[in-house]
Structure 1
Amino acid sequence: MTTIKEMGRFCPTDHNGNILNDASLQNINPGFMKVIEETVEHYKAHLKEDLHSIYIRGSIPRGLGIEGVSDLDTIALTNKTTHDMDLGWVEKSERFLNSKYKCVDGVEFSFYSIDEALKTNHFSIIPFMIKTHSVCVYGDDVSVYLPEYKADIKLGNEHLVNLKRQIDQAKEDLDGNDDREDIVDCCRWIMKIIVRAGLALVIEKEAKYTRDLYPAYRLFAKHYPGKEPEMRQALQYAVDPVENPVEILGFLEGMGCWLTGEAEEWLDIHNLKRER
């Protein structure tokens, strides 16, 4: 069993409460540089003139990457919409890089048009991630054109407005599933969502935000001590996912349903129309 590590931190903020980006090239462990460089080359070779810029997000550019454990999460901004591009090469490139580089647990490619990234008349997670959690490793950095973000109800809403749908989707994906790899991926995905949703419930009270799971769990437990064991279990599932769909479904029927109820009450106060 993987031991839960007491690591991670809340996002730094300025005197106005705006979230500061603590990702930088200088923070990246040199052991990750070769896989980053080759990932960039795959993007360039296949997208060519359709490629605008590439960003590394998550733990690695924040100096929290653990060799052999952390994923390499990337974002490519493109000059065309994804519907207008051939992305048939992506799975093959991910498979190749994952087999070649054991310093990361996996390489993830993702694509968003430059127009989509710069459309900020409503909250969207990709501009937020570029502005607050990513470093540009190729092309022109668009973060300077993006608005400031705070740890407030807009950010909390992002984690709660779709929570019921996401949990229902996980239940559907797990029901009758016998694909071990798929079950593990689903377990890790939905448990991360649950832990971050727990933080979102108290974001207005604390004015703190983090993508890191351990501090998110601790802040939730501060306000919901009676639910601390269940949220710790969600954290355990996120870092050490299980292959038993019945076990995961049982947890989602219990803690998942309770959390969904709390989210609905939160939304009744802050977002009655359930808008993004």
Structure 2
Amino acid sequence: MRYRSVTSNLDHHRPVSVPEGLDDGLDERGRIRREGDLSRIDAVFAPLIAEAASALRRLLGQRLHSIYLYGSVPRGTAVAGRSDLDLEVILHNEPTETERAAVARLAAELDQGTGAVNEVGIIVASRPRLLSAAERYDNAFQISCLCTPLWGPDLADELPDQYPTIELAQHITSGTRAAFTRLAAELNAPTTSRPDFTRQRVGRRIARLAFTCVLFRWPGWTSDPATMQRVITAFYPDHTDELATSIQLGWGRLAGHPPNTPADHDKAVELLNSAAPWWMNEHGRVTARTG
């Protein structure tokens, strides 16, 4: 199926009726709420989480500031054997390449030793960098809003509040264009070890990029794909089919439909060729400052 590259049918300053009953992800002061909580984690993931935390503490020792979970596991929406376990570790100082490599090896070992999740991923960052102004809408946003503290002091206490603003929409997509280039190369590479992961990332990247075009117009925040889809299509009804395909590729695994067929490959290629550049241009248009 080819998706139409059409001009947005709505002026981005015009109010749009978003479906009622959706959680806008904000607190009483309009700040973006933290998404997850340890109390929401399904018990099936507890042994793996405990093993990961213990191994990270042994590996990084006094260098370790704190450990966080993010993604569907702390949000309470994870599906055993299909969802990923995503962690972020913060060091007191900038991580060395040796430390990054050691953490990557640990993630691979945890991944190979469990059937509880589809994949284990661990990000490494430093406290000084996260406290810098340059990270406010990037990794600092992730710690404040998307991450759930697992061990150590909560760095979110030292970070600024986050709101669904045009500034967040402008900066949160940094690196998206380069990511699309990498994904296109991976889709065409016969040596890609897990092409289904690549197709999944294509769908998620496009859906999340599209969401940045509306989060400050809604306004609100969500990582839930169904809510994301409903909000985006309220603003862009001409892109309903395209967004449905992106969501299916990005999150279909959770319903038992991983993107591992030739048809899924073709959909991912088509999305990168047509939807990705359209949404990049649209993002630039709606987040541009005018007067």
TM-score interval for Structure 1 and Structure 2 normalised by the shorter chain: 0.7 to 0.9
Counterparts in 2 of 1:11 and 1:93: CA distance versus 1, 3 Å? farther
- Correspondence list, 1:84-103, <5 A: 85-103=98-116
1:82 aligns with 2:102: no
TM-score (norm 1): 0.86
- Correspondence list, 1:47-196, <5 A: 47-83=60-96, 85-120=98-133, 123-175=136-188, 177-196=189-208
Which one-letter code corresponds to 1:241 in the other structure?
P
Instruction: Identify the residue that residue 259 of structure 2 maps to in structure 1.
Output: 241
Q: For the residues of structure 1 that align with 2:24 and 2:38, how far apart are their CA atoms?
A: 17
1:201 aligns with 2:227: no
Identify the match of residue 47 of structure 2 among 18, 34, 37: 34
Q: CA deviation at 1:271?
A: 9.0
Whether the aligned pair in 1 keeps the contact of 2:206 and 2:275 (CA below 8 Å) is no
Instruction: Identify the residue that residue 19 of structure 1 maps to in structure 2.
Output: 32
SS of 2:230 mapped into structure 1: helix
1:224 aligns with 2:256: no
Structure 2 unaligned residues grouped into runs of 5+? 1-21, 252-257
Structure 1 unaligned residues grouped into runs of 5+? 1-8
RMSD across aligned positions (CA) = 2.3
Deviates more, 1:100-109 or 1:160-169: 160-169
Whether the aligned pair in 1 keeps the contact of 2:203 and 2:245 (CA below 8 Å) is no
Q: CA deviation at 1:243?
A: 5.7
Q: For the residues of structure 2 that align with 1:88 and 1:226, how far apart are their CA atoms?
A: 44
Name the % identity: 20
1:255 aligns with 2:275: yes
Instruction: Identify the residue that residue 6 of structure 1 maps to in structure 2.
Output: none
Whether the aligned pair in 1 keeps the contact of 2:26 and 2:221 (CA below 8 Å) is no
Q: CA deviation at 1:138?
A: 1.2
SS of 1:19 mapped into structure 2: coil
Which one-letter code corresponds to 2:269 in the other structure?
L
Counterparts in 2 of 1:187 and 1:122: CA distance versus 1, 3 Å? same
Which one-letter code corresponds to 1:33 in the other structure?
A
Aligned length: 262
Q: Deviations over 1:52-103 (max 9, x none)?
A: 1101112211222221122111010002212364333334322322232212
Q: For the residues of structure 2 that align with 1:164 and 1:95, how far apart are their CA atoms?
A: 27
Deviates more, 1:253-262 or 1:218-227: 253-262
Q: For the residues of structure 2 that align with 1:234 and 1:194, how far apart are their CA atoms?
A: 7
Counterparts in 2 of 1:238 and 1:61: CA distance versus 1, 3 Å? same
Counterparts in 2 of 1:57 and 1:122: CA distance versus 1, 3 Å? closer
Instruction: Identify the residue that residue 222 of structure 2 maps to in structure 1.
Output: 210
Counterparts in 2 of 1:235 and 1:48: CA distance versus 1, 3 Å? same
Q: For the residues of structure 2 that align with 1:213 and 1:98, how far apart are their CA atoms?
A: 25
Instruction: Identify the residue that residue 14 of structure 2 maps to in structure 1.
Output: none
TM-score (norm 2): 0.81
Whether the aligned pair in 2 keeps the contact of 1:217 and 1:235 (CA below 8 Å) is yes
Q: For the residues of structure 1 that align with 2:260 and 2:23, how far apart are their CA atoms?
A: 28
